Amino acid sequence: MKMSGNAAARDNQTPHSKVISLPISRVKLIMKSSPDVCFINQDALFLTTKATELFVQNLALSSFNNGSGKGTNTLSYSDLANIAEETETFHFLTDILPKKILARDYLKSMEQMQEEDDDL
Amino acid sequence: MDGDSTTTDASQLGITGEYMASSHYVLQSQDDDGEESLNDHEDGGIKENFREQDIYLPIANVARIMKSAVPQTGKIAKDAKECVQECVSEFISFITSEASERCHQEKRKTINGEDILFAMSTLGFDMYVEPLKLYLQKFREAMKGEKGMPGVSVGESLGEELADDTFRIITADGQQQNVMVYTTSYQQIPAVQQIQFS
């Protein structure tokens, strides 16, 4: 019951690439939460759902490859944040993928700001 | 914990792990009122509060697709999965609003397949367009075998029998259980059932 995006062949046992593995009704809900959306036809719903699958694969693989140079073999949040910044197609994600800093660095910079205020 | 609102104790700031977002200064801080009631605790609230703008696809489905894309031996961090879950909603909204805008300009009320494909190619996803057209073609061919519009029926349909020539996408998008059954059957291919629990 594994999902293989590669097997496009019409295999008797496993037509995986034909099956949508994301809940269409949930996709529809997300689409409807966009302002001004009235009706969505069946094709549009199917295409969006399928495209979302492709997007996930694309994002995951690009991020993984981008980060694998560090030899961790693990896809991490920072790989995602980096790819959003570096790849134009994923620029729209930069707002929701802020680069993270260590808590202590943040607190240090807050303290410095405080000191500067005190000096004024 | 004292009533002072400043603290450098990471655990009191509700920071799990060592990282937090920077430029937006997002801190999941605990209530700083003198009287802190456990019921009002906001720790981890972002994922718990179901706001309309925070609708996500189930993480199990998302994680499964991610796994199918990375090499077999690769691993995926938990926060990466959660993050992609959010990116997915962002992606869907991104495409939808572009498609919707085009509809509006042309004074139409229904977003159709062409709008979606056009939006993708406008927004830099034109590499998806050709494969998607093929998938759509297969989807339509399969639907021709069905009398009338199969539509999407919502409900529990685990034990349901399906004829070989029928094509149906059945989603039982329940509540917390989120049991989903996806079944497709093309003419030469017997029905395949995928049951996903998330």
pLDDT digits (tens, 9 = 90+) for B82-109: 999 999 999 999 999 999 999 999 999 9
Asked if A47 lies within 8 A of B69 by C-beta distance, the reply is no
CB pairs under 8 A between A and B: 249
Residue A106 has a pLDDT of: 84
Q: Does the beta carbon of B169 lie under 8 angstroms from any beta carbon of chain A?
A: yes
The two three-digit tokens of residue B54, written as one number: 């925070």
- The SS3 of residue B170 is strand
Query: Comparing C-alpha atoms, which of A3, A88, A94 is closest to residue B68?
Result: A3
* H-state helical runs in chain B: 45-48, 59-69, 78-105, 113-122, 126-144
Model confidence pTM above 0.90? no
Stretches where chain B sits below pLDDT 50 are 1, 10, 14-49, 151-194, 196
Query: Do the beta carbons of residue B173 and residue A23 sit within 8 Å?
Result: yes
A73–B125: do the CB atoms touch at under 8 Å? no
Helices and strands in chain A, H and E counts: 4, 3
Please choose, from the candidates A56, A107, A57, A62, the residue with its C-alpha nearest in 3D space to the C-alpha of residue A85.
Answer: A62
Question: What residues of B are in contact with residue A24 (Cβ under 8 Å)?
Answer: 152, 169, 171
Q: What is the pLDDT of residue A17?
A: 44
Q: Does B63 touch chain A (CB under 8 A)?
A: no
Strands A100-102 and B19-21: antiparallel
Q: What sign results for the dihedral spanned by CA atoms A119, A120, B3, B6?
A: negative
Interface subset of A 49-88, CB within 8 angstroms of B:
50-61, 63-64, 73-77, 79-80, 88
